[in-house]
Amino acid sequence: MRNRSRFSFLALPLILPFLLLCAPTPARAADPSADLYLGYGRLGSNTFNANIGGLNGWEAAGNFSWMPFLGAEVDVAHYGLGAGASVPRTTTFLFGPRVTLGAAGIHVFAHGLVGGEHSANSGGPGHISNTALAIALGGGVDVRILPFFAWRVGADYIAAPTQSPPGASHDRFTTGLVFRF
């Protein structure tokens, strides 16, 4: 308990300047320099492994724009079918450039992401445990619902080129809440 409060006390001077720098202002509300996303994701059938139906899960992403239309995106997602030990689970870690265009509270974006994926299950007749390079190409649209919040709908082509089985469905659909700052 004592170490946790000591860490919080030491981390505050490091985090506070970042929060002040990224604090929402009227100028940034019109053209956000960063956004955070958390939402639902759905993978197509057999995306990374054979004989696996579509997987449901969550996705979190962050984007920081260093130029008016160009930014860097980090995307982390976790998918699974249920709670059993034999149920496959897939986690993806992706990053890459993102191009965003926006007007009147609607932002359209496209990204090209590369990273890795890890799939595993801990039991059942078909044991899975693999890690591979993964890519995602796609985009979406953010529609403003409040001054600093938007709703996102997105779609991607996602695959692990060295591992995805032939005839796999390489689609990923996402929807969720975006916080802009």
38 HSE (CA, 13 A, CB side): 1
pLDDT at 23 (0 to 100): 46
Q: Is 34 exposed, middle or buried (0-12, 13-18, 19+ CB in 10 A)?
A: middle
Q: pLDDT at position 61, please?
A: 97
Q: What is the mean pLDDT of residues 156-174?
A: 89
* Lowest-pLDDT choice from 54-68, 71-85, 138-152: 71-85
- 84 pLDDT band, cuts 50/70/90, is low
pLDDT for res 130 = 84
Model confidence at 4: pLDDT above 60: no
DSSP string for residues in the chain: -HHHHHHHHHHHHHHHHHHHHT---HHHHHS-SEEEEEEEEEEPTTSSSTT---EEEEEEEEEEESSSSEEEEEEEEEEES-SSTTS-EEEEEEEEEEEEEEETTEEEEEEEEEEEEEEE-SSSSS--EEEEEEEEEEEEEEEEEETTEEEEEEEEEEE-TTTPPTT---EEEEEEEEEE-
Q: Phi and psi (nearest 5°) for 32?
A: -60, 145
Q: What is the mean pLDDT of the chain?
A: 82
Q: What is the pTM of this model?
A: 0.76
- Cα-trace Rg, the chain: 19
Which numeric CATH code is attached to 31-180? 2.40.160.20
Tokens 């958390």, residue?
38
Written as one letter, the residue type at 8 is: S
Domain ranges of the chain: 31-180
